[in-house]
């Protein structure tokens, strides 16, 4: 399939083809600007597919919105907005609530359980901007849990977060996959891809370069090697 940002001349993704099996943990690897975020947005229904066919959870894109949770990069949210952690997590319940409806006691119970799972129950009444980067990432994960989504799309959830957050996110994702949920993660963390993911895809300049955990690992090492070599020569010059 192909995808392009509005007004952009170049395709952000071209000829990308992927197949993610139900109940697996899938990694998207590649340099910055390779199209990982774009691919996640296309799957989430945030960007239109220009050409080609994309079926998500067996439906056309946008047909099963409540079942998809998208965790954007933290910079895409206005953290200074006056809202509590608990209320942000509540927005995971909105697809189940619908318009003009107030949350029930059950909705709040689900929210609190999700906060417990990511270890943020104590910070529930804080304003969202008062949390650390790692805690903010966990809030977004808690929202996906509260939403009870079937497919989770995570954009660099492990980037620049503390060790506790990394551990909790890994545990929660693992538990989700055990329960039959499907998880797609954009990441740089090669060791983790090797250890924790069932399948992987290496993207470069909007194209698929390698498929499968092993070949993605090899491809990434090559790429890192090339990048390092460039850095060294650049420093010397």
**In the complex, which residues of this chain contact another protein (CB under 8 A)?**
6-7, 44-46, 62, 65-66, 68-70, 72, 76-79, 81-84, 87-88, 91, 94-95, 97, 99-100, 127-128, 143, 147
Nearer to another protein, 95 or 119 (CB): 95
Nearer to another protein, 87 or 121 (CB): 87
Contact 90, 52 (CB under 8 A): no
Determine whether 39 is exposed, middle or buried from the number of CB atoms within 10 Å of its CB (0-12, 13-18, 19+). buried
CA dihedral 65, 68, 73, 74 (to 10 degrees): 80
Shortest Å, Cβ 18 to another protein: 19
Contact 203, 16 (CB under 8 A): yes
Contact 84, 143 (CB under 8 A): no
Nearer to another protein, 33 or 62 (CB): 62
CA distance 206 to 31: 10
Nearer to another protein, 46 or 211 (CB): 46
Contact 85, 111 (CB under 8 A): no
Shortest Å, Cβ 222 to another protein: 33
Contact 191, 96 (CB under 8 A): no
Shortest Å, Cβ 17 to another protein: 23
Shortest Å, Cβ 74 to another protein: 11
Contact 19, 177 (CB under 8 A): no
Q: Are strands 49-51 and 59-60 parallel, antiparallel or unpaired?
A: unpaired
Nearer to another protein, 81 or 230 (CB): 81
CA distance 186 to 158: 9
Shortest Å, Cβ 110 to another protein: 15
CA distance 207 to 2: 10
Nearer to another protein, 104 or 222 (CB): 104
Shortest Å, Cβ 120 to another protein: 17
């Amino acid at each position: 399939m192909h995808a392009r940002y509005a007004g952009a001349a170049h395709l952000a993704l071209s000829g990308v083809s992927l197949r993610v099996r139900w109940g697996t943990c899938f990694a998207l690897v590649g340099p910055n600007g390779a199209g990982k975020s774009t691919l996640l947005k296309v799957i989430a229904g945030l960007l239109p597919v220009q050409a080609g066919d994309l079926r998500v959870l067996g439906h056309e894109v946008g047909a099963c919105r409540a079942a998809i949770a998208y965790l954007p990069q933290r910079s895409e949210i206005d953290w200074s907005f006056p809202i509590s952690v608990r209320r942000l997590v509540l927005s995971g319940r909105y697809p189940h609530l619908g318009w003009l409806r107030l949350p029930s006691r059950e909705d709040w119970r689900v929210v609190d359980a999700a906060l417990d799972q990511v270890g943020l129950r104590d910070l529930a009444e804080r304003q969202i901007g008062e949390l650390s980067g790692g805690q903010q990432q966990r809030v977004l994960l808690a929202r996906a849990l509260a939403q009870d989504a079937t497919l989770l799309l995570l954009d660099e959830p492990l980037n620049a977060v503390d060790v506790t957050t990394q551990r909790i996110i890994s545990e929660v994702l693992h538990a989700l996959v055990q329960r039959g949920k499907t998880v797609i993660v954009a990441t740089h963390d090669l060791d983790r891809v090797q250890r924790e993911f069932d399948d992987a895809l290496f993207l470069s300049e909007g194209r698929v370069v390698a498929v499968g955990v092993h070949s993605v690992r090899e491809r990434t090492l090559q790429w890192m090697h090339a990048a390092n070599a460039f850095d060294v020569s650049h420093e010397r010059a």
